[in-house]
Amino acid sequence: MYQYFIKIVPTTYTDLKGITVYTNQFSVTKHSKIISSGMGESGLPGIFFMYELSPMMVKYTEKQRSFMHFLTGVCAIIGGVFTVAGLIDSMIYHSARAIQKKIDLGKAS
């Protein structure tokens, strides 16, 4: 027995020029079961298709971002890199000082 569960979602896509395309997205899940004539599992052999139409619509709209948006994103990335590098540097510095103190205390004894 083969069962196919098909989910269909209506979709619209609008590009930068304003051209709209009406289409559908779909996903398929397949289940199969072996039906034996002996004891145990039973059922009707065949191929079954179950359709599920979604009441929701997905809408994709392509938009162009400004140069300032790009520049803000680049500044955010650079700031994040400097922050993480500062945290790592601080952690290495404090770890080295703690190890150095232990070494100095070991030599003094």
Q: pLDDT of 6-54, one tens digit each?
A: 999 999 999 999 999 999 999 999 988 877 665 555 667 788 999 999 9
pLDDT the model gives residue 103 = 85
Q: What are the sequence ranges of the domains in the chain?
A: 1-63, 65-109
Task: Indicate the helix (H) or strand (E) that contains 53.
Answer: strand 47-53
Whole-model pTM: value is 0.52
- At 38 the pLDDT is 58
Mean pLDDT of the chain: 89
Better-predicted residue by pLDDT, 68 or 33:
68
| Positive or negative: CA dihedral 63, 66, 71, 72 | negative
- At residue 20, the 3 state secondary structure works out as strand
